[in-house]
Amino acid sequence: MRYGGDNRGRLLIIVLLVTSLFLITLDLRGVQVIDGLRTGTQTALTPVQKIGSWVVSPFRNFISDVTHLGRTQNQMEKLRAENDKLRLALQNRETADAQLKQLKGVLNLAGTAGYKVVNAKVISQGSSTSFTQTITIDAGTTSGIHTNMTVLSGYGLVGVVKYAYANSALVQLASDPAFKIGARIAGTQQIGILSGQGTRKGVLQLLDNTTQVRKGDALLARGSQNGRPFVPGVPIGEVTSVDNSPGAVTQTADVKFYSNFSTLGIVAVVVSGSSADPRDALVPPKPRPTPLPTVTIYATPGAVEPSSTSTPSPKTK
Amino acid sequence: MSLRRFFFSFPIFFTVFLLQEAFVTQMRLPAGGINLLLVVALIWAALSTPEIGALTGFGAGLMMDVSQTSPGPMGHWTLVLIVACYAIAFLGYGDDNIRGNPINIVFLTTIGVVAAQTVFLILGMMLGQEIGSVKQVLLVLAGSAFWTAIISPLILKVVSYFHAIIFGERSHI
């Protein structure tokens, strides 16, 4: 027997569909009740998510231990947190150094170095089945975090605070398809717009088509007015490939983000930017090739033992 | 009668919603992971009449919409799930070949999850949302299909048990 439906059933379907369309319209028109509903749900869910994070962590650690074979997650988390802290300290130091250079150059310029940050732990990662890239952190308005604040990891830009609640905040990751940031290339100062693509790779669209961008160029945040949503000078990523199609209206390049969004544990929210733009001071140094020692062996026919000398050289013979 | 019984299913869906928000999202499963609420709603709909299926979609969609990870406006998931759950319930209603066979329900649910996400995506695009790279979208859709096909046989018996408690033994697999 197939279902034929009756008037009551049809009316119910129509009522439900109209209700959902009504909700969409209300939300798109910015009705406060709808926002309040989501805020209230998140506020109520935060403690449950914290418990969930604690409960699930052994399972997550087990999976990670199996994946990494021999390296325990605890050690890795500890080292990662320590590494992030050290990198953040180094970033602050570089900002301070950059500001010191400006002070030496321009005598009437004064400023204090360093971003003022609030560290936070990632308590939840948004489901990407909704085609978004978000994380929830365990610090909120009570810690001084508000919407449109820059979020960093030890490697560079992570994203921006989208919603802030009392004890938690939702961070839109830089990899989110809806994420856009004004970026400049370190050194050449070319500017463009970087968009997330749902992966660790972003796409940079340069505003000036006549300029040249090269593979390996570092990208930094241009910064926003009053440092919100983005403080200037934050390292974003590195150009991995350039699309130089002739006749293209704008030049585009693929960018790999410095931050690995799938391994985020501790992040820092910039609650107050530096008083001066650190410019390119935060560009991570490129790895230098280590000189390999070259061993030259002179073999003399008839000699008892071959003599050998060891000299450092940048090339291997 | 059925409507009154439907409201008894709210605690079940609320529990699944809590599980999804507090635990499933924490596991960081590869390829986008799974949306447990979506899977449970579709299985529930497959076991129900079309009216109850549409109501289930409405309730589950509202819950998914109030989740902070939902990118669209309120009502986005609701609209998609009303249609998806109604369609699944309509396909299965009165056909014991579908409803009586767990493999068919798993298959229907897997197709339903992918279809619902695709409709969600298209509707999102129409509402001006960014969807990211095609590669990533395909990965998430394939990941969802994979995880649904893995998880739904495991939870089918439990969902069917609770459905039978609320709506009677006829829907029990």
A149 pLDDT band, cuts 50/70/90, is very high
Of B45, B28, B29, B27, the closest CA to residue B37 belongs to B45
| Distance, CA of A269 to CA of A256 (rounded, Å) | 22
Chains A, B: CB contacts under 8 A, how many? 179
pLDDT, position A105: 33
Residue type, A51: I
Task: Report DSSP state, residue B48.
Answer: S
pLDDT, position A317: 37
Tens-place pLDDT, residues A171-219: 999 999 889 999 988 888 888 999 998 888 899 988 877 777 888 888 9
pLDDT, position A104: 39
Pick among 3.10.50.40, 2.40.10.340, 2.40.50.500, 1.10.730.10: CATH of A102-270: 2.40.10.340
A196 → closest Cβ in B34, B67, B132:
B132
Tens-place pLDDT, residues A58-97: 776 666 566 555 566 677 778 888 898 898 888 777 755 6
pLDDT, position A315: 44
Q: Which two tokens stand for residue B19?
A: 């599980």
Tens-place pLDDT, residues B29-65: 777 778 888 899 999 888 888 888 888 899 888 888 8
* Percentage, residues of chain A above pLDDT 70: 75
Integer CA distances (angstroms), A230 to A104, A283, B19, in order: 26, 16, 34
**Residues from chain A contacting residue B93 (CB–CB below 8 Å):** 2-3
Cβ atoms within 10 Å of A67's Cβ, excluding its own: 9
End-to-end CA distance of chain B: 22
pLDDT, position A194: 92
pLDDT, position B121: 87
pLDDT, position A260: 82
Q: Tell whether the model's pLDDT for residue A314 goes beyond 50.
A: no
| Distance, CA of B38 to CA of A242 (rounded, Å) | 40
Distance of residue A105 Cα from the nearest chain B Cα, in angstroms: 44
Domain boundary assignment for chain B: 3-25+32-168
pLDDT, position A306: 52
Mean pLDDT computed over every residue of chain A: 76
Distance of residue B10 Cα from the nearest chain A Cα, in angstroms: 16
| Distance, CA of A180 to CA of A175 (rounded, Å) | 9
Q: Tell whether the model's pLDDT for residue B168 goes beyond 80.
A: no
Q: Tell whether the model's pLDDT for residue A1 goes beyond 50.
A: no
B22 → closest Cβ in A37, A51, A125:
A51
Sequence length of chain A is 317
Average of per-residue pLDDT across B81-86: 90
**Residues from chain B contacting residue A56 (CB–CB below 8 Å):** 23, 26-27
Average of per-residue pLDDT across A164-170: 89
- Its ipTM equals 0.78
The owner of tokens 């160029």 is: A217
Of A107, A118, A83, the closest CA to residue A271 belongs to A118
Residue of chain A whose Cα is closest to the Cα of B22:
A49
Strands A201-206 and A252-257: antiparallel
Based on C-alpha coordinates, what's the Rg of chain A?
26
Q: Is the distance from CB of A271 to CB of A226 less than 8 angstroms?
A: no
CB spacing of B79 vs A132 below 8 angstroms = no
Distance of residue A74 Cα from the nearest chain B Cα, in angstroms: 16
**Residues from chain B contacting residue A60 (CB–CB below 8 Å):** 26-28
Average of per-residue pLDDT across A140-164: 88
A272 pLDDT band, cuts 50/70/90, is confident
On whether the pTM is more than 0.90, the answer is: no
pLDDT, position A148: 92
**Residues from chain A contacting residue B74 (CB–CB below 8 Å):** 23-24, 26-27, 34, 37-38
**Residues from chain A contacting residue B79 (CB–CB below 8 Å):** 17, 20-21, 24
pLDDT, position A181: 92
**Residues from chain A contacting residue B129 (CB–CB below 8 Å):** 131, 177-178
